[in-house]
Structure 1
Amino acid sequence: MDPTESETACFEAGIKFGTLYHQFAGTPVSPDSATSLERAMAEAIENQPHCVDVSVDILESELESALADQSADYAELTGRFMEVEMVVEYEGTHVEASMTMEGDYPMMRVDRVE
């Protein structure tokens, strides 16, 4: 059985989240560079087919809190420091997906399929 358009659209969202997270995890980030990194991440993922919108929010309060506990001026980017929302459209199917932390794990989920 071939996947449905909705299943394919959800798969596309998953691919984009995997790319976003694993491409940028470990990137040095500071409060001064957070905005430019957010923009770079969103624009990079929006280049991929079927991706129509990406919003990356680096949680500067979480970042500043982590930096207070160490001597470096930056931290390595992890899911702990970001929230992401994404819209994928495939063959008329609209998928909204997001990433937030669940405990210590960055959970990526499909929020809506139309």
Structure 2
Amino acid sequence: MSPDSAPSDTTPTDAESACFEAGIKFGSLYHQFAGTPISPESVSSLTTAMEQSIENQPHCSDVTVDVRTNELETALADSSADYTELTGRFLEVEIVVDYEGCEVVTRMEMQDGYPLMRLESVRS
């Protein structure tokens, strides 16, 4: 592409910035907590810690973390320990970002055996 045909404005839109912020929040949540020991007794305190930790970040208006307790119990039934490592297969997460009046809703849930993170909606 020649310099003459390049777009003149490369400043991200508010919607693009909101989507970027949501991606940062998901990266933080997943990589900060993956590997954390989890048991049925610690689910409530761990989900609260995850939600509050990510909600501290700029532009984050809401975080909901649900642990798939049936999946957790199945993993523990096959284990000699009374806890396991937190991985994406145990989580369903919704993160809402509000950047300059643009609201982005994102979600992570299992899809075809993989914890898929996706953009649900962008509203101005």
TM range (shorter): over 0.9
Tell me the secondary structure at the aligned position of residue 32 of structure 1.
Answer: helix
Q: Distance in 2 between matches of 1:10 and 1:98?
A: 12
Alignment-derived partner of residue 60 in structure 2:
51
Q: What residue ranges of structure 1 are gaps of 5+ in the alignment?
A: none
| Structure 1 stretches of 4+ moved >4 Å | none
> 1:101: how far off?
1.4
RMSD: 0.7
**Letter matched to residue 95 of structure 2:** M
Q: What residue ranges of structure 2 are gaps of 5+ in the alignment?
A: 1-9
Q: Distance in 2 between matches of 1:37 and 1:50?
A: 22
The structure with the largest alpha-carbon Rg is 2
Alignment-derived partner of residue 102 in structure 1:
111
- Percentage identity across paired residues of the two chains: 64
Q: Distance in 1 between matches of 2:70 and 2:114?
A: 19
Tell me the secondary structure at the aligned position of residue 54 of structure 1.
Answer: strand
Residue 61 in 1 paired to residue 86 in 2?
no
How many pairs were matched up? 114
Tell me the secondary structure at the aligned position of residue 70 of structure 1.
Answer: coil
Instruction: Give the structure-2-normalised TM-score.
Output: 0.90
